[in-house]
């Protein structure tokens, strides 16, 4: 597998993992707010609406940089490589799937050959 293929896979994993977090945001919103609505109690509806919305926004905001970074990786933008390295370090805490994705992504994005693909540090890409 070439390093270009590893970068493409890393981008796909980053985007996919972030989309899962967006799905979690939607499910939390529907679950928490819906639970309050099902109760019929106006105070419960108010509280669950605030909590559900806040949690969904937090999960959503955490997912957006991953989607943006993954798209940037596909376009070989060096800022995206740095962003995804930072996100991969944070992924290490999301045991077990995030840890696996984080370790693989760090390995791919920290390679000299990858740096060369992104035009980083004056490196030039090697022939494939």
The stretch 111-118 carries a mean pLDDT of: 94
Domain membership flag for residue 127: no
Q: What per-residue confidence (pLDDT) applies to 121?
A: 66
User: Picking from 15-24, 33-42, 86-95, 113-122, which range would have the lowest pLDDT averaged per residue?
Assistant: 113-122
Helix residue ranges per DSSP H, the chain: 3-39, 42-74, 78-91, 97-109, 112-117
Boundaries of domain holding 84: 3-119
Tell whether 128 is covered by a domain. no
How sure is the predictor about 64, in pLDDT bands with cuts at 50, 70 and 90? very high
54 in any annotated domain = yes
- Of 65, 81, 61, 60, nearest to 15 (Cα)? 65
Q: What percent of the chain has pLDDT above 90?
A: 92
- Domains of the chain: total: 1
């Amino acid at each position: 597998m070439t390093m270009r293929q590893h970068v493409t896979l890393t981008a796909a994993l980053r985007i996919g993992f972030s989309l899962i977090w967006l799905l979690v945001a939607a499910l939390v919103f529907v679950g928490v707010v819906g639970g309050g609505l099902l109760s019929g109690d106006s105070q419960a509806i108010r509280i669950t609406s605030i909590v559900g919305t806040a949690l969904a926004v937090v999960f959503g905001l955490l997912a957006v940089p991953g989607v943006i970074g993954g798209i940037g990786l596909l376009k070989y933008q060096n800022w995206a490589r740095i962003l995804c390295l930072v996100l991969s370090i944070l992924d290490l805490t999301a045991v077990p799937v995030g840890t696996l994705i984080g370790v693989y992504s760090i390995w791919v994005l920290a390679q000299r050959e990858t740096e060369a693909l992104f035009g980083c540090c004056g490196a030039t890409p090697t022939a494939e």
